Amino acid sequence: MHQLKTFVIGGVHPPEKKLAEKQPIVRLDPPKTVSILLSQHLGAPAVPVVAKGDKVLAGQIIARGESFISANIHSSVSGTVAKVDGVPDTSGYRKQAIIINVEGDEWAEGVDRDEAFVRDCQMSPEEIVSRVKDCGVVGLGGATFPSHVKLKVPKGKKAEYLIINGVECEPCLTADHRLMLEKGNEIMAGISIQMKALGVGRAIIGIENNKPDAINNLSEIAREYEGIEVQPLKVKYPQGAEKQLIKAVVGREVPSGKLPIEVGCVVHNVGTAFAVYEAVQKNKPLVERVVTVSGDSVRKPSNFMVRIGTPVSELIEAAGGLPEDTSKVVNGGPMMGKALNDISVPVTKGTSGILAFPGSESRRPAEQNCIRCARCLTVCPMGLEPYLLSALAEKQRFEDCEMERIMDCMECGSCLYICPSGKPLLDYIRVGKNRVGIMIRERSH
């Protein structure tokens, strides 16, 4: 067994609550209608290539990502396009989506739906990248950054390590955990495909040691692959953050405002590795993903393989519905996820979990004076001063916010988690980041 590693600055230990870690992934049938948002990834929204009344097959492209940072979107079901219209997304604002009425479950030609494991990949690195791009694969860890962009090493830079994120440091979420247990071979094949595309010789899978079964399973499989190893990590939030993971695994610090490639690393999620495998070996676009449905209010915590565009309410229904006292439904993990104001919103490529909590757990503590206990400073993984940033942003001193490196904040929520005074630190930091971002953009024009 390797020595346990972790990142150095800050970090918290929220209750793990991995309620669904023993639940195998269950494939859900397609719902009656799906709403597939055109903007499910970081970057420009995709442009629809189908219109009302068109018949589509599952796996068929329905919207094309045309700018550099964008991703293709495929139909997750077969049926008829009902309309292209605005539907509320996770924040309640209407975003353009393609709404499809489901008819049967027919798949587009060329998609290999055979479950048989195909290990070796004959494609060239360029072919791999273009296949990943065609299949609309994005980072499934939550940031949904288009994967094909990350599989191309920029000119003048060299990738030394491919780091695979199997940390899943968010409480409650178990989607990646189950994937590592059930699809270990596919993930490994996906990793070796990614290594080939990037031209790197070493890949390290970082897994927190609260998932010993996943560590064992992948270590076992990794023996058959050259250059891939598993690195067990100490449990600490937010280890799954890109910069923290790199620090933990290879001990390098990505400089402020720079990308991981600056220190020779590329980070992909295990879910992404699986999606890359399916795209390259099976020609299957990203039309479904594993979603954990969990939380104290969920009757049957489960892990589902669902089609993109399925309403969240269907997932909750499949997990036994919600009790009366549910007062918060979160899209994503409890530390960084978004609270939903409507459970009819569709699952997107970035939905890693749907969590429901009763009132007692979801309320914020009452706000009091800051007692300057410095806990927020101690836990901030970026070494910032959340109390100061929050106060500066509240007083609209955005220039000072920038000086104090507010843009380094990755909104992990450790400060607000730990604050004994219940100060909405992160809320104001977000306001500040927003305004500083606008300031920086204006300056560069």
Partner 1 sequence: MNELFNEITLFSVVSLGAIGGVAAIILFMVAQKFRVIEDPRIDIVEGLLPGANCGGCGLAGCRALAEAIVKDESLEGFNCPPGGSDVMQQIAEAMGWEAGEQTPMVAVLRCNGTREFAPPKVQYDSAMTCTFAHSLFSGEGGCPFGCLGCGDCVRACDFDAMYMDPESGLPVILDEKCVACGACVKACPRDIIEMRKKGKKNRRIFVSCINREKGGVARKNCKVACIGCGRCVKECRFEAITMENNLAYIDYNKCTLCRKCAPVCPTNAIHELNFPVRKKKPADTDKQEKNV
Partner 2 sequence: MKVLTVSGSPHFHADHSVSRIMYGVVFSLIPAMLVSFYFFGLAAILVTLTAVVSCMAFEFLIQKYLIRGPMTIFDGSAIITGVLLAFNVPANLPLGIVVIGAAVAIGMGKMTFGGLGKNPFNPALVGRVFLMISFPVQMTTYPEPSAFSTRLADAVTGPTPLTFLKGGVDQGEKVSELMPQIPDYANMMLGNMGGSVGEVSALAIILGGLYMLARRIISWHIPVSYLGTAAILSAIFWMVNPEVYPDPLFHLMAGGLMLGAIYMATDYATSPMSKTGMIIFGIGCGLLTVIIRLFGAYPEGVAFSILIMNAFVPLINRGFKPKRFGEEIKNG
Residues that bind partner 1 (CB under 8 A): 86, 88, 91-94, 327, 338-339, 341-342, 362-364, 394, 424, 427-428, 430-431, 434
Looking at the Cβ atoms of 10 and 45, the one nearer to partner 2 is: 10
Binding positions for partner 2, 354-383, rule CB under 8 A: 355, 357, 359, 361-365, 368-375, 377-378, 380-383
Residue 263 binds to partner 2 (criterion: CB under 8 A): yes
CA atoms of 61 and 76, how far apart (whole Å): 9
Ordered alpha helix ranges (H), 101-142: 125-134
CA atoms of 249 and 95, how far apart (whole Å): 38
Residue 413 binds to partner 2 (criterion: CB under 8 A): yes
* Total chain residues near partner 2 (CB under 8 A): 76
Residue 72, H or E segment: none
String marking each residue 135-174 x if it binds partner 2 according to CB under 8 A: ------------------------------------x---
Task: Compute the least distance from the CB of residue 12 to partner 2, in Å.
Answer: 7
- All residues at 6 or more sequence positions from 343 whose CB lies less than 8 Å from its CB, including other chains: 311, 312, 313, 316, 329
Q: For residue 243, which amino acid is it?
A: K
Among partner 1, partner 2, none, the one that 397 touches (CB under a kind-dependent 5 to 8 A) is: none
User: Binding partner 2 by CB under 8 A: which of 54, 106, 253, 394?
Assistant: 253
Looking at the Cβ atoms of 277 and 417, the one nearer to partner 2 is: 417
User: Binding partner 2 by CB under 8 A: which of 11, 12, 63, 145?
Assistant: 12
Binding positions for partner 2, 269-328, rule CB under 8 A: 322, 324-328
Give Cα 269 distance to the centre of its chain.
8
Task: Compute the least distance from the CB of residue 71 to partner 2, in Å.
Answer: 24
Among partner 1, partner 2, none, the one that 67 touches (CB under a kind-dependent 5 to 8 A) is: none
Residue 402: CB atoms within 10 A of its CB come to: 18
Q: Report phi then psi at 287, rounded to 5.
A: -120, -5
Residue 32 binds to partner 2 (criterion: CB under 8 A): no
Torsion angle (degrees, nearest 10) of CA 268, 274, 277, 278: -130
For strands 265-269 and 338-339, give the pairing. unpaired
Residue 256 binds to partner 2 (criterion: CB under 8 A): yes
Q: For residue 132, which amino acid is it?
A: V
First to last CA, the chain: 52
Residue 394 binds to partner 2 (criterion: CB under 8 A): no
Looking at the Cβ atoms of 79 and 333, the one nearer to partner 2 is: 333
Place of tokens 């993930």: 187
Residue 340 binds to partner 2 (criterion: CB under 8 A): yes
Among partner 1, partner 2, none, the one that 438 touches (CB under a kind-dependent 5 to 8 A) is: none
Among partner 2, partner 1, none, the one that 93 touches (CB under a kind-dependent 5 to 8 A) is: partner 1
Task: Compute the least distance from the CB of residue 93 to partner 1, in Å.
Answer: 5
Closest CA to 321 of 336, 353, 302, 299: 299
Place of tokens 């094909």: 148
Task: Compute the least distance from the CB of residue 386 to partner 2, in Å.
Answer: 10
For strands 94-102 and 265-269, give the pairing. unpaired
Residue 4: CB atoms within 10 A of its CB come to: 13
Among partner 2, partner 1, none, the one that 88 touches (CB under a kind-dependent 5 to 8 A) is: partner 1
Three-state secondary structure call for residue 9: coil
CA atoms of 439 and 170, how far apart (whole Å): 32
User: Binding partner 2 by CB under 8 A: which of 236, 243, 349, 433?
Assistant: 243
User: CA-CA distances (angstroms) from residue 10 to 94, 190, 242, 334, 390?
Assistant: 37, 32, 15, 19, 18
CA atoms of 397 and 376, how far apart (whole Å): 20
Residue 189 binds to partner 2 (criterion: CB under 8 A): no
Residue 266 binds to partner 2 (criterion: CB under 8 A): no
Task: Compute the least distance from the CB of residue 386 to partner 1, in Å.
Answer: 13
Task: Compute the least distance from the CB of residue 48 to partner 2, in Å.
Answer: 30
Task: Compute the least distance from the CB of residue 255 to partner 2, in Å.
Answer: 5
Looking at the Cβ atoms of 88 and 264, the one nearer to partner 1 is: 88
Among partner 2, partner 1, none, the one that 422 touches (CB under a kind-dependent 5 to 8 A) is: partner 2
Exposure string over 48-71, b if 16+ CB within 10 A, otherwise e: bebeeebebbbbbbbbebeeeebb
Residue 184 binds to partner 2 (criterion: CB under 8 A): no
